[in-house]
Amino acid sequence: MSAPARSRPDTAGSIPSSDTRVLHFRDVAKTFPDGTVALEGVDLDIRRGEFVTVVGPSGCGKSTLLRIASDLSPATSGDVQVDAQRIGYVFQDATLLPWRSVLKNVQLLGELHGMGRSSLNQATRDAIDLVGLTGHEKKLPRELSGGMRMRASLARSLTLDPDLFLFDEPFGALDEITRERLNDELLSMFRTKRFGALFITHSVSEAVYMSTRVLVMSGRPGHIVGSFDVPFGTDRTPELRFTPEFAALAGEVSHALREGHS
Amino acid sequence: MSAPSRVRPSSIEGNTVTATEQGVEPTVQAEGELIAAGTAPLVRRRRRGSRLLNIAAPLAVFGVLIGAWYAITYLVLEPGRRFLMPPPQEVITEGFLDEQAMEKIGDALWNTIEVTFTGLAFAIVIGMAWAVAMSQAKVAERSLFPYAVALQCIPILALVPLIGFWFGYDFPARVIVCVLIALFPIVSNTLFGLQSVDRGQHELFDLHGAGRLTRLMKLQFPAAMPAIFAGFRISAGLSVVGAIVGDVFFRQGEPGLGIVLDNFRSRIQGPELFATIIVAALLGFATFLVFGWLGKLAVGRWYDTSRDGA
Ligand SMILES: Nc1ncnc2c1ncn2[C@@H]1O[C@H](COP(=O)(O)OP(=O)(O)OP(=O)(O)O)[C@@H](O)[C@H]1O
Ligand SMILES: [Mg+2]
Cβ–ligand 1 distance for A34 under 6 Å, the answer yes
| CB burial of residue B232 (10 Å; 0-12, 13-18, 19+) | buried
The domain made up of B88-309 has a fold known as MetI-like fold (1.10.3720)
- State residue B48's pLDDT score: 65
A77-82 and A5-7 beta bridge pairing: parallel
Cβ–ligand 1 distance for A67 under 6 Å, the answer no
For atom 12 of ligand 1, which residue has the closest CA?
Answer: A38
**Which protein residues have a CB closer than 5 Å to ligand 2 (ion)?**
A 63
Is A146 in Cβ contact with B27 (below 8 Å)? no
Q: Could you tell me if A228 lies within 8 Å of chain B, comparing CB atoms?
A: no
Per-residue pLDDT for B217 more than 50?
Answer: yes
Dist. CA B262–CA B114, nearest whole Å: 19
Cβ–ligand 1 distance for A64 under 6 Å, the answer yes
Cis? peptide before A33, omega within 30° of 0 = no
Portion 97-116 of A in contact with B at CB < 8 A: 97-100, 108-109, 111-113
Residue type, B169: Y
* CA dist B142 → A246, B131, B251 (Å): 59, 12, 39
Portion 20-79 of B in contact with A at CB < 8 A: 20-21, 23, 25-27, 29-30
Per-residue pLDDT for B42 more than 60?
Answer: no
Atom of ligand 1 nearest to the CA of A57: 25
Who among A71, A112, A142 is closest to B210 (CB)?
Answer: A112
Cβ–ligand 1 distance for A47 under 6 Å, the answer no
- State residue B54's pLDDT score: 85
Cβ–ligand 1 distance for A251 under 6 Å, the answer no
For atom 3 of ligand 1, which residue has the closest CA?
Answer: A32
Confidence class for position B308, pLDDT limits 50, 70, 90: very low
In tens, the pLDDT along B254-300 reads 888 988 888 888 888 888 888 899 999 999 999 989 998 998 888 88
Per-residue pLDDT for B204 more than 80?
Answer: yes
Ligand 1 probe mutation, A32, A93, A203, A217, most atoms within 8 A of CB: A32
Q: Which of B196, B204, B216 to mutate to test the interface with A (most CBs of A within 10 A)?
A: B204
Cβ–ligand 1 distance for A72 under 6 Å, the answer no
From ligand 1's centre to the CA of A169, what distance in Å?
14
Cβ–ligand 1 distance for A217 under 6 Å, the answer no
Dist. CA A90–CA A159, nearest whole Å: 13
* CA dist A33 → A69, A74, A79, A164 (Å): 19, 12, 20, 28
- Nearest Cα of chain A lies from the Cα of B125 at a distance, in angstroms, of 24
Tell me the average confidence (pLDDT) per consecutive run of 10 residues in chain A, 262 residues long.
58 54 90 89 90 91 92 90 89 92 95 91 91 91 91 92 92 86 88 91 91 90 88 85 88 86 62
How many degrees, rounded to 5, is the angle at CA A121 between CA A114 and CA A149? 95
Residue type, B218: K
Who among B30, B203, B222 is closest to A72 (CB)?
Answer: B203
- State residue B286's pLDDT score: 93
Please give the helix or strand (H or E) that residue A253 lies within, else none.
helix A244-261
Q: Could you tell me if B219 lies within 8 Å of chain A, comparing CB atoms?
A: yes
Domain boundaries, chain B: 17-72, 88-309
DSSP 8-state code for residue B93: I
A109: chain B residues, CB-CB within 8 Å: 208
For atom 18 of ligand 1, which residue has the closest CA?
Answer: A61
From ligand 1's centre to the CA of A36, what distance in Å?
9
Nearest CA in chain A to B221: A99
Q: Which CATH superfamily is domain A5-86+163-261 in?
A: P-loop containing nucleotide triphosphate hydrolases (3.40.50.300)
In tens, the pLDDT along A197-209 reads 999 998 999 999 9
- State residue A17's pLDDT score: 52
Identify the CA nearest to A92 among candidates A164, A154, A30, A177. A154
Nearest CA in chain A to B22: A142
Domain boundaries, chain A: 5-86+163-261, 97-161
B222: chain A residues, CB-CB within 8 Å: 97, 99-100
Any idea which of A44-53, B14-23, B55-64, B128-137 has the lowest mean pLDDT? Answer: B14-23
Contact B131, B163 (CB under 8 A): no
Contact A71, A3 (CB under 8 A): no
- State residue A258's pLDDT score: 87
Is A112 in Cβ contact with B205 (below 8 Å)? yes
Contact B198, A95 (CB under 8 A): yes
A176: chain B residues, CB-CB within 8 Å: none
- State residue A7's pLDDT score: 67
**DSSP annotation string for B208-276:** TT--HHHHIIIIIHHHHHHHHHHHHHHHHHHHHHHHHHHHHHH--SS--HHHHHHHHHHTT-HHHHHHH
- Nearest Cα of chain A lies from the Cα of B295 at a distance, in angstroms, of 14
Contact A255, A226 (CB under 8 A): no
From ligand 2's centre to the CA of B92, what distance in Å?
69
Dist. CA A95–CA A1, nearest whole Å: 36
Per-residue pLDDT for B19 more than 60?
Answer: no
